[in-house]
Amino acid sequence: MIAHFIQHRGKGHWVLAAPLIIGVILFVLTDAIGYGEKYVRPATFFISAAFIWFFDKGHLLLQVGRNINRGQNTLMWIDMKFWAIPFAIAGAISLAVI
């Protein structure tokens, strides 16, 4: 079923992989230095949002004003850069809940 949502061309799989990888790295680092894991989840969402936004050149879309990657770099037919917005909102919500 996942193969249906993730198209085989482009970088759409990073939408799922980036938060997982960044979360594991942050959890291991905070555990290694003895810092509490309280801020790992919000930091994971914020870093993932920035990574996905700049990895798919979302900032250039705002400057140029047109989508040059139409049909590529999508997850569930949504451009990869637009997944950064829900990640940033989830980071803000999880930070407010702490």
Angle between helices 14-33 and 40-55 (to 10 degrees): 140
Evaluate if residue 71 carries a pLDDT over 60. no
Share of the chain above pLDDT 70, in %: 68
User: How distant is the alpha carbon of residue 63 from its chain centre?
Assistant: 21
pLDDT at 13: 77
Q: How far is it, in rounded angstroms, from Cα 36 to Cα 52? A: 26
Give the contacts of 71 (CB within 8 A, at least 6 positions apart).
none
Q: How large is the average pLDDT for residues 57-81?
A: 60
Q: How far is it, in rounded angstroms, from Cα 61 to Cα 1? A: 30
pLDDT at 8: 54
Residue pLDDT, tens place only, 29-45: 999 998 888 899 999 99
